[in-house]
């Protein structure tokens, strides 16, 4: 490896300014720094760094995402075949989670991997275009964003939508601000928000969370089969504040709060919800997988424990506050449920901890995470038109992060001034 590294670095003069291949520098710099430690280090200034390239730091995040990716692949296949079991006797029994394991994994691979490939292809193409225009290498941040974008989407989102959303997020969400390190909004969430508002029928409702739902409806005469449901747990909860509450396809009009909650907890067992055995976006359903990734990020020092723990604390506190108010069954849902359903854990671990768009000060990270988790619960419970809440909460806190840091810094200055005066 040392010999190969020496050969690569001997090529540097040909690609640097004045070299015969200087126009290819962005591509060369990207590949060389991904393979080997850069030979340049910071020599002055307050923020001294070693030679570890940011690309490898981002690669650690990708490793942490593997549990979510693998579970998402299988979960996509499971809910597809679970739905097919209602209309095709050949798949009877596939509603059991372990039946047809190989078929489910294969189907999930065929649905998820093309989305990942399209996300990387579209995003990296934009990155390389801007790299050649500006004369710099590939920005490292998209190594993570390219994986996060498909994991935050339903499995049946058309590939062209994935490409359009990715291009929009990279250009409008990052490059217009100056590239990696300058953006104010999380790139992956920007892509998801773009699709949610531009193509809402592909990102919400009861038909998008189980792959192949439209085909099953067509095969069953234009309606979902009896007993089948395409809703998520949060979608069912949102119906609790209306006149016709539904749980797993069962209409419970006229039921009281206690009956609604009991039926919901029976349909969405807390253990199943924690493990991720529920419909939802590809990589967001399993709180366990997200926490495994979070453990990797905390052990390697890549993510901030302050943000992760305060995000969960904020969600729990605001969930308990909703329990205390208790106007409807949704508010009475046990607070811990909010932490294990939907994309709450995934958002806390992989979205809120974005080192560029999160707060930078130690105390600021605590406030940032706490209000991020709390606002997610408020949006879920008080705005049933958008039952998830995590995406909007984190994007809102991205915007507020500089203001939080400003007040934390100002408070530190005032405390130091007081100590100076008393001294």
Is 221 part of a structural domain of the chain?
no
Helix (H, G, I), strand (E, B) or coil at 250: strand
Same domain, 271 and 374: yes
Mean pLDDT of 51-69: 80
Report the range out of 249-258, 377-386, 401-410 with the highest average pLDDT. Answer: 401-410
In this predicted structure, which of 89-93, 203-207, 371-375 has the lowest mean pLDDT?
A: 203-207
Chain centroid to CA 164: 18
Q: Tell me: the pLDDT tens digits for 281-333? A: 999 999 999 999 999 999 988 899 999 999 999 999 999 999 999 888 899 99
Is 233 part of a structural domain of the chain?
no
* pTM as predicted: 0.87
Is 116 part of a structural domain of the chain?
yes
Chain centroid to CA 245: 28
How much is the pLDDT for 364?
96
Same domain, 195 and 299: no
pLDDT at 249 over 70: yes
Is 393 part of a structural domain of the chain?
yes
Same domain, 189 and 270: no
Is 245 part of a structural domain of the chain?
no
What is the count of structural domains for the chain?
Answer: 2
Token digits of residue 45: 């200034």
Instruction: For 24-134, list the strands marked E by DSSP.
Output: none
The domain in which residue 292 lies consists of 263-278+286-405
Same domain, 401 and 295: yes
Same domain, 29 and 167: yes
Same domain, 273 and 176: no
Same domain, 271 and 191: no
Is 390 part of a structural domain of the chain?
yes
Same domain, 179 and 305: no
Same domain, 81 and 188: yes
Is 154 part of a structural domain of the chain?
yes
Mean pLDDT of 357-378: 96
Same domain, 291 and 391: yes
Is 95 part of a structural domain of the chain?
yes
pLDDT at 54 over 80: no
Identify whether the C-beta of residue 214 lies closer than 8 Å to the C-beta of residue 195.
Answer: no
| CA 258 – CA 275 distance, rounded (Å) | 25
Identify whether the C-beta of residue 73 lies closer than 8 Å to the C-beta of residue 283.
Answer: no
Mean pLDDT, the chain, rounded, equals 86
């Amino acid at each position: 490896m040392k010999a190969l590294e020496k050969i690569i670095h001997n090529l540097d003069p040909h690609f640097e300014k004045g070299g015969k291949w200087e126009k290819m520098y962005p591509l060369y710099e990207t590949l060389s720094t991904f393979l080997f430690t850069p030979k340049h280090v910071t020599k002055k200034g307050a923020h001294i760094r070693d030679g570890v390239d940011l690309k490898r730091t981002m690669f650690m995040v990708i490793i942490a995402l593997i549990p979510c990716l693998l579970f998402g692949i299988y979960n996509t296949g499971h809910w597809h075949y679970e739905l097919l079991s209602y209309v095709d006797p050949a798949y009877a029994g596939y509603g059991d989670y372990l039946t047809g394991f190989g078929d489910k994994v294969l189907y999930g691979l065929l649905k998820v991997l093309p989305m990942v490939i399209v996300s990387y292809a579209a995003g990296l193409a934009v990155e390389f275009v801007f790299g050649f225009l500006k004369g710099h290498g590939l920005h490292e941040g998209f190594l993570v964003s390219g994986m996060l974008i498909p994991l935050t989407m339903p499995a049946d989102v058309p590939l062209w939508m994935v490409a359009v959303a990715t291009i929009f997020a990279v250009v409008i969400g990052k490059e217009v601000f100056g590239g990696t390190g300058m953006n104010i909004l999380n790139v992956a969430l920007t892509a998801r928000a773009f699709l949610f508002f531009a193509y809402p029928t592909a990102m919400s409702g009861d038909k998008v969370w189980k792959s192949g739902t439209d085909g099953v409806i067509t095969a069953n005469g234009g309606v979902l089969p009896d007993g089948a449901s395409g809703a998520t747990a949060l979608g069912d909860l949102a119906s609790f504040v209306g006149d016709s509450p539904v749980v797993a396809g069962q209409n419970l009009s006229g039921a009281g709060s206690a009956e609604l909650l009991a039926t919901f907890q029976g349909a969405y067992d807390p253990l199943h919800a924690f493990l991720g055995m529920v419909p939802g976006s590809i990589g967001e359903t399993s709180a366990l997988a997200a926490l495994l990734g979070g453990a990797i990020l905390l052990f390697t020092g890549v993510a901030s424990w302050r943000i992760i723990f305060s995000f969960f604390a904020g969600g729990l506190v605001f969930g308990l506050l909703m329990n205390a108010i208790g106007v409807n069954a949704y508010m009475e849902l046990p607070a811990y449920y909010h932490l294990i359903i939907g994309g709450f854990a995934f958002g806390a671990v992989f979205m809120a901890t974005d080192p560029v768009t999160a707060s930078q000060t130690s105390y600021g990270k605590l406030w940032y995470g706490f209000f991020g988790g709390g606002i997610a619960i408020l949006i879920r419970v008080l705005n049933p038109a958008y039952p998830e809440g995590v995406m909007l909460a984190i994007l809102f806190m991205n915007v507020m992060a500089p203001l939080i840091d400003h007040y934390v810094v100002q408070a530190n200055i005032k405390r130091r001034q007081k100590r100076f005066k008393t001294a």
